[in-house]
A and B are shown apart, each in its own frame.
Chain A
Amino acid sequence: MSFTVRKDDATGVVHVRIDGQLIVGNRHDLKKKVLDAMDEGERKIVIDFTETGYIDSSGLGVLVSLSKKIREVGGDLRLAGLNDDLRTLFELTKLDTLFTIMGSAEEAAGSF
């Protein structure tokens, strides 16, 4: 599994793509990458789940934590590319009411 961070200079949006799983064993890596981007002044973050297999509750918890931290500094986090299974996890836990979830990463980037 890996995380890819890419900034679109035209829009100022940082795209974080999760390849593989977001689970207890790697959630801190994702948190560090996003916090590092925030430390560099980035405020528009899209997390792209197009290539993500599954997420566990600790992965969901990290997303909640990041969402809070980004909002605290006046930024915003968008989620994109969730397949039906992943979207089910957000719906079951009602986290779909906490996050802005868009269909594609491009759509999410255009929504800031």
Chain B
Amino acid sequence: MTAPLRLYVRRSETPEPDSDARRVQISLRVPTDLDVVEETVDLVARHCLACGVPPRAARFIVRVVLCETLANAIVHGNQMDPSKRVEVRVEVGSSEVSLHVRDEGNGFNPGLIPDPTEPDRIDLTQGRGLFLIRQLVDEVHFNERGNAICMIMRRE
């Protein structure tokens, strides 16, 4: 039986500078449990849809990239340690959507991840997550430690 989902969700709105628009933010504290990934992803996607993010971006891109980052944070970052959490922060503004994910692990060097489309790697069963994220969003940033990622999608 799957453990009940325990998400801590906080929602806030702030005015955007030089504009009448408001920036909506939700924060989630996600347990280190792969069974909660799908529900967390769905919650964020619904939030983005409700904030006017175009359906394809909300239903597909947000879902895929958040699924990837949560899985990496839970498996590689927190190493499945149930005492640790993953922090997710989503900001929907008038010009962009930013997704921030931070785990409690030691971090990694994203520059060391090889290109999974190279001929000698194409039939490997893993190593495509970060590559997919970079392909699907407009900007990807990491903190210096390598345990927090920021993904930015521009709203056209």
Contacts and interface: CB of A to CB of B under 8 A. Distances in A.
A60 interface: yes
Contact of A24 (B67, B116, B125, B132): B67
Interface in A21-71: 21, 23-25, 53-58, 60-62, 64-65, 68
A23 B67 contact: yes
Given A64-B123, A65-B125, A93-B128, A85 B60 contact: yes
B122 A94 contact: yes
Given A25-B35, A94-B117, A57 B124 contact: no
Contacts of B35: 25
A76 to B, nearest CB: 15
Interface string B65-93: 00110010001000000000000000000
Question: Which of A21, A54, A55, A56 has the largest number of chain B CB atoms within 10 A?
Answer: A56
Given A21-B38, A24-B37, A25-B38, A54 B63 contact: yes
Contacts of A65: 125
Nearest to A93: B128
A93 B133 CA distance: 11
Interface string B7-41: 00000000000000000000000000011011000
Interface residues of A, number: 25
Contacts, number: 71
A15 B7 CA distance: 37
B149 interface: no
A92 interface: yes
A11 interface: no
A95 interface: yes
B59 interface: yes
A39 B14 CA distance: 58
A61 B126 contact: yes
Interface of B: 34-35, 37-38, 56, 59-60, 63-64, 67-68, 71, 75, 116-117, 122-129, 131-132, 135-136
Interface of A: 1, 21, 23-25, 53-58, 60-62, 64-65, 68, 85, 89, 92-95, 97-98
Given A94-B122, A95-B122, 13 more contacts: A23-B37, A24-B37, A24-B67, A24-B75, A25-B34, A53-B63, A54-B60, A54-B64, A54-B67, A57-B126, A60-B128, A61-B124, A93-B132
